[in-house]
Structure 1
């Protein structure tokens, strides 16, 4: 085994120094591109401009009426003509692309065409359908038309037998549906398989399962550290699997795995797409225990990624610093923008002095298109849009309209629209959305 290590190191070194192809995701020598993050920690830039990835930004104030008052946004989806806002308390609102309220989708209740609560919202733009997934209505998925009218029941009463834990999601990609779940494991009576992804048919029957390679061979150990038995000593959790669907390609990264995988529709497999070099990584139990030790944050840990035409962005953290890496697909160059943040520490009530720790992190780019404030990607939609949700009170506090009028930007009409919005919006109004359309 020891004799293979120099060869493995040489292979990785050669791969990481190969020039990558922006089309195939393979280097000139046919090998998978390798992005050296740890080796480029000092290759810093002051900021990363939004215009490198985005063609335009629309500033959209969401209309505030007695029927469309938003309290707490859970998700936002954007299509060519509509904006869907999922409020965890109020349900799903539909606006047009100028922010005018059109209708609500679905009606709260226990009737056959109603839904008691919503766990997740999915949009099928081509079919003009909204899928609402509930885990309290006997695990149902009900489908509504864009105008809010009831269409059909897509699923009733089966999902509780499919997922092994509480952190489950369903998402659509083209004509496919995928199930996604992460640790912890709650259903242990049947010794469940610890899978992370599953491809389903249109009736949500599982066709194929996919497994996080970092969990391989650890099923028994994972089950031993699941919620029913953790007490104050054992409780393993897992970061979510990062997903991106830019340019009609499904790419994902399992938590704790330094590989990006791309979905191959022809053979229905996730295949390695990019390899990441993040340096020394924390031990498995340190990375997966829910109550993180402070030592975990000394490692460079990749949380998310954002794909675009020319660049691949990777959001990572080390100590109390958020690192935003920008990988150039054409020449393989890596740059990083760093921003000091905070490791949030919250004592856990009733525990023996346990402290819950989490790095506060956001993917931010300099908004050199409309100006005003940094652009924060709060939501991704349809593989085409990035959405920054802003409270009017924050905008009014942070932006001086007179200074904004003279700010140098690449899209002056967008800047002028922002100035106009600031002159009319009040602190009690619904959020203002910055909707970026990717190149």
Structure 2
């Protein structure tokens, strides 16, 4: 797509600074937000383009239960072997946590009961330094893991956790996302395409033996080798392989769908605004696009990190949108940090340490002006049930 510059960070911060604050659903709704996006022709495609200068100044508060069903709190197993640093994803009737360089993947059932480790950190068969992407095939009882710097996709038994085999990849994959079609014995892979990988494809379809069936040349998408960049397939719409490349050094970019039948990347969402670029990240849900935007950075002993961010929502049907704040209405409308990153595989999952949840409940109860008596009672009951030495808690719900 044609490159576009994005609105300057300072200008966006000024808009947020002038906001009238979060508005309740009774004062502001998606239906009366301004139209901020237009559909524009790009080649054979029609692309949703967000115009940041059309954003209003208010922030719409959205209860997570508006988007979720079976929204609940899951307390993970407290056995020593189940203890986890958190994170992870919900994959149907299972949760996988861990997968970092210091913690192997752990599999839990939908009620939080620990089942087993999946592989381990190491260099042997079925081992990995760290895991970037995960998939579970319940029907065929398989777990698939994509390690960092992968040369193959690792396959495990869903009933035992045993390592079964690997699916070779045609090139080294620094960071990769994928979807397996067991019936067709094929895999679609998308990767972060470092420019020093010869013959690289950015997205491709292959068989289980590593033979490339078709793919997209990586040259137009290639980036300087840098592991602060990311590749994304949020997989929130069945049958759609959404694909997005995030670069830490911000540039114009686009959210795509890979159309396997035509072997092409179809552009679906992007930004258009003069000025300096702002750092951002796209997430697609069935009826809207979310864009996480960085407002402020800070420094600590480990380097630079994002200290303030906001979320912009665009309704696919109407083009209306604006700043939004997702709140957890299961716990007194507590604000949900980083919500745009927590919708994956058709589910929402937030990992939170018991002590942090207890602290946030205490803060809410200390200034209960916006809470009903029922909500206050529910928060007090939940607070009394929290043991700060517990394993990680998960808030989980399925997208409607």
**Scaled by the length of structure 1, what TM-score is found?**
0.64
Name the SS of the counterpart of 1:99 in structure 2: coil
User: In 2, Cα distance between the equivalents of 1:103 and 1:146?
Assistant: 10
Instruction: Look up the match of 1:55.
Output: 69
Name the SS of the counterpart of 1:397 in structure 2: helix
Matched residue pairs, number? 341
CA contact (8 A) 2:326 2:336 kept: yes
2:88 to 53, 71, 76: 76
1:56 Cα deviation from its structure 2 partner:
4.2
1:325 Cα deviation from its structure 2 partner:
1.1
1:129 to 123, 131, 142: 142
- Going from structure 1 to structure 2, the CA distance change for 1:110 and 1:251 (only over 3 Å counts) comes to closer
User: In 1, Cα distance between the equivalents of 2:207 and 2:140?
Assistant: 17
User: In 2, Cα distance between the equivalents of 1:310 and 1:409?
Assistant: 29
1:84 Cα deviation from its structure 2 partner:
1.9
CA contact (8 A) 1:244 1:305 kept: no
Name the SS of the counterpart of 2:359 in structure 1: helix
User: In 1, Cα distance between the equivalents of 2:228 and 2:79?
Assistant: 40
Instruction: Look up the match of 1:240.
Output: 230
Instruction: Look up the match of 2:7.
Output: none
1:386 Cα deviation from its structure 2 partner:
1.4
Deviations 1:42-77 (A, max 9, x none): 44325444244333421011111122121x34x523
Instruction: Look up the match of 2:243.
Output: 252
User: In 2, Cα distance between the equivalents of 1:244 and 1:135?
Assistant: 17
2:298 is the counterpart of 1:335: no
Deviations 1:171-228 (A, max 9, x none): 21555533333365455xxxx246433322223333333256864xxx7xx7xxx66x
1:44 to 25, 42, 58: 58
1:429 Cα deviation from its structure 2 partner:
1.9
- Going from structure 1 to structure 2, the CA distance change for 1:324 and 1:259 (only over 3 Å counts) comes to same
User: In 1, Cα distance between the equivalents of 2:49 and 2:327?
Assistant: 23
2:281 is the counterpart of 1:304: yes
- Going from structure 1 to structure 2, the CA distance change for 1:393 and 1:53 (only over 3 Å counts) comes to same
2:171 to 162, 176, 181: 162
CA contact (8 A) 2:47 2:267 kept: no
Extract unaligned runs of 5+ from structure 1: 1-15, 21-25, 228-235, 282-298, 338-363
CA contact (8 A) 1:56 1:438 kept: no
- Going from structure 1 to structure 2, the CA distance change for 1:409 and 1:305 (only over 3 Å counts) comes to farther
Name the SS of the counterpart of 1:132 in structure 2: strand
2:207 is the counterpart of 1:201: yes
Name the SS of the counterpart of 1:430 in structure 2: coil
Instruction: Look up the match of 1:101.
Output: 114
User: In 2, Cα distance between the equivalents of 1:145 and 1:78?
Assistant: 18
Name the SS of the counterpart of 1:437 in structure 2: strand
2:365 to 371, 391, 403: 403
User: In 2, Cα distance between the equivalents of 1:278 and 1:436?
Assistant: 35
- Going from structure 1 to structure 2, the CA distance change for 1:368 and 1:109 (only over 3 Å counts) comes to closer
Deviations 1:222-244 (A, max 9, x none): 7xxx66xxxxxxxx677323333
CA contact (8 A) 1:388 1:433 kept: yes
User: In 2, Cα distance between the equivalents of 1:92 and 1:272?
Assistant: 34
- Going from structure 1 to structure 2, the CA distance change for 1:373 and 1:211 (only over 3 Å counts) comes to farther
2:387 is the counterpart of 1:392: no
Name the SS of the counterpart of 2:358 in structure 1: helix
1:87 Cα deviation from its structure 2 partner:
4.2
1:37 Cα deviation from its structure 2 partner:
3.1
- Going from structure 1 to structure 2, the CA distance change for 1:162 and 1:238 (only over 3 Å counts) comes to same
Q: C-alpha root-mean-square deviation of aligned residues, in Å? A: 4.0
Greater RCO between the two (CA within 8 Å, min separation 6)?
2
User: In 2, Cα distance between the equivalents of 1:212 and 1:110?
Assistant: 28
- Going from structure 1 to structure 2, the CA distance change for 1:19 and 1:170 (only over 3 Å counts) comes to closer
Name the SS of the counterpart of 1:403 in structure 2: helix
CA contact (8 A) 1:214 1:257 kept: no
2:291 to 309, 314, 331: 314
User: In 2, Cα distance between the equivalents of 1:212 and 1:111?
Assistant: 30
